Structure 1
């Protein structure tokens, strides 16, 4: 889902108000198909405003704490395989 930019809230309010005025005009003129389309656009604009308001009201600071410094492992870690010394022992064949 795409989130509306909070900086564009005033523009969304202007669009919503313009849609309301256009719906009123279309109803006065009897343009029923136009009214239906404008109402769908109005519902979308109002939903975006609701998303902005909900998102701003849910904002809170989450304290993640300060991470502890990583402990340093002293010495090399070796990959030990099973019977690793036998891997280098010569084998005599009969």
Structure 2
């Protein structure tokens, strides 16, 4: 049961919002910085991006300029999420931080 509270699963990945808090983006996860995309959803994100491009073209043809602006925001979010997935796949799993040293403290006395 506790596992349900650790991660909020959404269609495209995991939401970082605190449990039982409202979504200010009204579940428009592409625009939300708290969405951590699931690498298995790359194909779906690509489809969403392509669909947004087609909708932007349609909105231009129809003269729906307000719609174009909103769609561009969503498109930027989709492209950002795809870039995040790209970073996840190229990032190395282990980061060597080295060993701590205290040589800068040698020779000091406490008074």
Which interval holds the TM-score relative to the shorter structure?
A: 0.5 to 0.7
Residue of structure 2 in register with 1:3 after alignment = 36
Residue of structure 2 in register with 1:17 after alignment = 50
Q: Which 5+ residue runs of structure 2 have no aligned equivalent?
A: 1-33, 97-111
| Greater fraction of residues in strand | 2
Q: TM-score normalised to the size of structure 2? A: 0.53
Q: Which 5+ residue runs of structure 1 have no aligned equivalent?
A: 64-94
Of stretches 35-44 and 53-62 in structure 1, the one that deviates more from structure 2 is 53-62
The question of 1:53 aligning with 2:89 is answered no
Higher relative contact order (CA 8 A, sep 6+): 1
SS in 1 for 2:88: helix
State which structure, 1 or 2, has the greater radius of gyration over its C-alpha atoms: 1
Residue of structure 2 in register with 1:26 after alignment = 59
Distance, in Å, in 1 between the alignment partners of 2:38 and 2:92 is 15
Residue of structure 2 in register with 1:37 after alignment = 70
Distance, in Å, in 2 between the alignment partners of 1:62 and 1:49 is 23
Q: TM-score normalised to the size of structure 1? A: 0.62
Aligned length: 63
In the TM superposition, residue 62 of structure 1 has moved relative to its aligned partner by 6.4
- After TM superposition, the runs of 4+ consecutive aligned structure 1 residues lying more than 3 A away are 60-63
SS in 2 for 1:59: coil
